[in-house]
Amino acid sequence: MTEKQEKILSSALELFANEGYNVVSTSKIAKHAKVSEGLIFRHFKSKQGLLDAIMQQAFERAAALYAPIIIEQDPKKVLSLAINLLFEGDVEKYHFWKLQFKLKWELEISGKEKTQPLTDKLAWAFKELGYEDPKKEADVLQHLLESILSGIVKDGIDTQKHLQTFLLDKYQV
């Protein structure tokens, strides 16, 4: 990807996250990225094309983030890695994660397929640890983690740090 394409995507991500996909025009993105609007259409074809490129990055980032958890064979370590993942994240990715939450509501894009491998691995871990209903336990933890991430995106990591210790203690990992 060229530097200008990166600049366009970065600007679109920031503007979509802060103002909403439906509100932001390609003209505004071009001004923010300091490129011509025609360049946006040349590289991404449309505003939807920009969103598609950002969503592709989301899938790639999720896969990279979850990879160490997915390959882990110690069930307690799986839980520990999943819980700690939120608190070891790069705060610089604020706009990226904020956009993911915004898209859930604004465009009804759930992104569940991005998190399914993690949920499946959590269910495996809970099964290995002898939990009565590992699938439900995995779903509950996944929802808790998503809620914590929402709090981190909205109010900062320090506001949610106490929940990290709570969850590690709860699952004895």
Which CATH number describes the domain made up of 3-170?
1.10.357.10
Report the predicted TM-score, pTM, of the whole model to 2 decimal places: 0.80
B/e letters for 137-147, b = 16+ CB within 10 Å, e = fewer, are bbeebbeebbe
Higher pLDDT, 62 or 51: 51
pLDDT tens for each residue of 57-93: 878 888 888 999 999 999 999 999 999 988 886 655 6
Query: Left if phi > 0, otherwise alpha if psi is -120 to 50, otherwise beta: which for 133?
Result: beta
pLDDT tens for each residue of 108-162: 666 677 788 999 999 999 999 999 999 999 999 999 998 998 888 888 889 999 9
CA distance 93 to 80: 22
Domain boundaries, the chain: 3-170
